[in-house]
């Protein structure tokens, strides 16, 4: 595997829930929504799950290539830590490895390393393809979500795990701190399809796609093909948290209805799992990508926006990360972004990770006892076999 030289950048602690989300509430001057469904952001954050410790972190960007495969990779690691659990994050269709920064920064702040990867063929440049220029976005989605494409992506994840172990054994900066025995998968949209397959989703009677199993899996906007055999979801043999909602409609209209996405959770096997359903979270919001270019002229040729950021802007990504992605006092989010939905994803996914990976009794208690009441009118949390009120 040939590797372009890494570019190292120092990343500052985001204080995601306390600062980034709080900053949005502070800069918002719009009147409150009508009662009784409205919950103020400040009041809502009071009882959000908070990890036991917060971390500063460092990050590296690199490009990996082998055979006919190419991947852009971003790694962020809690500072001063060793044998850190690793989350492999898989972005959605049309996103690059810097996508999902809201979730990735939340998790690294809680003490998890996060390695995000995406092949150039699935990044924002696909909007410059002949199909995109012709408006054939369903053709793009059909090709990307196909079984052949899925097999290639699963193989790439498998190869990446091997490369992570090789770099760690060689003592390479960043990678030497990773615990390759504690790997978690998280994916959004196209990445959720890949993560589910690596976690065991497959047709009944078929072998697992890879030999190893993640400790846990987070599926943001899970992919469910129309007419899929429900038995394939019962094959998943990894603890799973799915995140979706009634507004989770992808811009390619490839999944017929948002409700279809719930079929994965509903058909999980005896291992069980959790499902977070958020009333007002859009597909774009679930991407967790800060809208750095929300007010910038769209250069996508009329293509639908898949992520909150609408793709890379050609600027210095490292500078964006060092400053938290926005000017002090400015609203870093899209004007339609609901901060309570983001706070819900941040808190529930972090509690799920701490409970499942770190075996935290406090996190499990919050997740099973306090979270359903905390979510209240913002959303619901279901546990396999027991639904939250």
pLDDT of residue 355: 96
Band the pLDDT of 385: cuts 50, 70, 90: low
DSSP 339-380: HHHHHHHHHHHHHHHHHHTS--HHHHHIIIIIHHHHHTTTEE
Q: Considering the domain 2-387 in this protein, what is its CATH number?
A: 3.40.50.1820
- The pLDDT tens digits of the residues spanning 268-283 come to 986 769 999 999 989 9
Over 60: is that where the pLDDT of 335 sits?
no
Residue 334 pLDDT grade (very low, low, confident, very high; cuts 50, 70, 90): low
Residue 28 pLDDT greater than 60, yes or no: no
* Exposure string for 361-384, b = 16+ CB within 10 A, e = fewer: eebeebbbeebbebbeebbbbbbb
When pLDDT is averaged across residues 124-153 and rounded to a whole number, the result is: 81
**Average pLDDT of span 153-173:** 95
58-114: pLDDT as tens digits:
999 999 999 889 999 999 999 988 899 999 999 999 899 999 999 999 999 999 999
Place of tokens 């846990």: 216
**What is the rounded CA–CA span in Å between residue 69 and residue 135?**
27
DSSP E strands, 79-215: 84-90, 113-118, 178-188
Taking CA atoms, 61 is separated from 4, 57, 146, 380, in Å, by 10, 14, 29, 36
pLDDT confidence band for 7 (50 / 70 / 90):
very low
Q: What is the pLDDT of residue 216?
A: 96
Band the pLDDT of 50: cuts 50, 70, 90: very high
Q: Give per-residue pLDDT as tens, 184-239.
A: 999 999 999 999 999 999 998 899 999 999 999 999 999 998 888 999 999 999 99
What does the angle CA 21 – CA 23 – CA 29 come to, to the nearest 5 degrees? 110
The count of other CB atoms within 10 Å of the CB of residue 194 is: 24
Which of 199-203, 211-215, 298-302, 350-354 has the weakest average pLDDT? 298-302
């Amino acid at each position: 595997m040939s590797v372009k030289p890494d570019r190292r950048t120092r990343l500052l602690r985001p204080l995601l829930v306390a600062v980034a989300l709080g900053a949005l509430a502070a800069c918002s001057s719009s009147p409150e929504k009508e009662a009784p469904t409205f919950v103020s952001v400040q009041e809502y954050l009071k009882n959000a799950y908070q990890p036991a410790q917060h971390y500063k972190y460092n990050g590296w960007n690199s490009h990996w290539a082998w055979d006919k495969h190419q991947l852009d990779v971003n790694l962020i690691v809690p500072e001063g830590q060793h044998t850190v659990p690793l989350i492999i994050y898989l972005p959605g269709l049309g996103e690059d490895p810097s996508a999902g920064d809201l979730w990735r920064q939340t998790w690294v702040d809680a003490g998890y390393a996060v390695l995000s990867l995406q092949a150039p063929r699935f990044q924002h440049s696909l909007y410059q393809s002949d199909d995109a220029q012709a408006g054939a976005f369903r053709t793009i989605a059909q090709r990307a979500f196909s079984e052949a494409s899925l097999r290639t992506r699963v193989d790439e994840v498998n190869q990446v795990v091997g490369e992570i172990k090789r770099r760690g054994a060689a003592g390479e900066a960043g990678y030497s701190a990773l615990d390759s025995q504690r790997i978690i998968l998280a994916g959004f949209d196209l990445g959720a399809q890949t993560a589910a397959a690596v976690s065991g989703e497959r047709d009944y009677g078929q072998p697992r796609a890879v030999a190893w199993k993640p400790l846990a899996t987070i599926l943001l906007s899970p992919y469910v093909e129309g007419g899929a055999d429900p038995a394939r979801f019962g094959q998943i043999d990894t603890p799973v948290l799915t995140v979706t909602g009634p507004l989770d409609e992808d811009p390619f209209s490839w999944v017929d209805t948002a409700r279809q996405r719930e079929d994965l959770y509903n058909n999980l096997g005896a291992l069980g799992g959790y499902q977070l359903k958020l009333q007002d979270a859009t597909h774009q919001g679930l991407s967790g990508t800060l809208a750095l270019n929300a007010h910038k002229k769209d250069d996508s040729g009329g293509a639908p926006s898949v992520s909150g950021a609408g793709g890379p802007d050609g600027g210095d990504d490292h500078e964006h990360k060092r400053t938290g992605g926005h000017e002090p006092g400015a609203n870093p989010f899209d004007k339609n972004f609901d901060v309570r939905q983001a706070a819900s994803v941040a808190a529930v996914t972090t509690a799920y990770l701490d409970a499942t990976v770190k075996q935290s009794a406090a996190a499990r208690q919050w997740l099973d006892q306090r979270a359903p009441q905390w979510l209240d009118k913002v959303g619901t949390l279901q546990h396999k076999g027991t639904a939250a009120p």
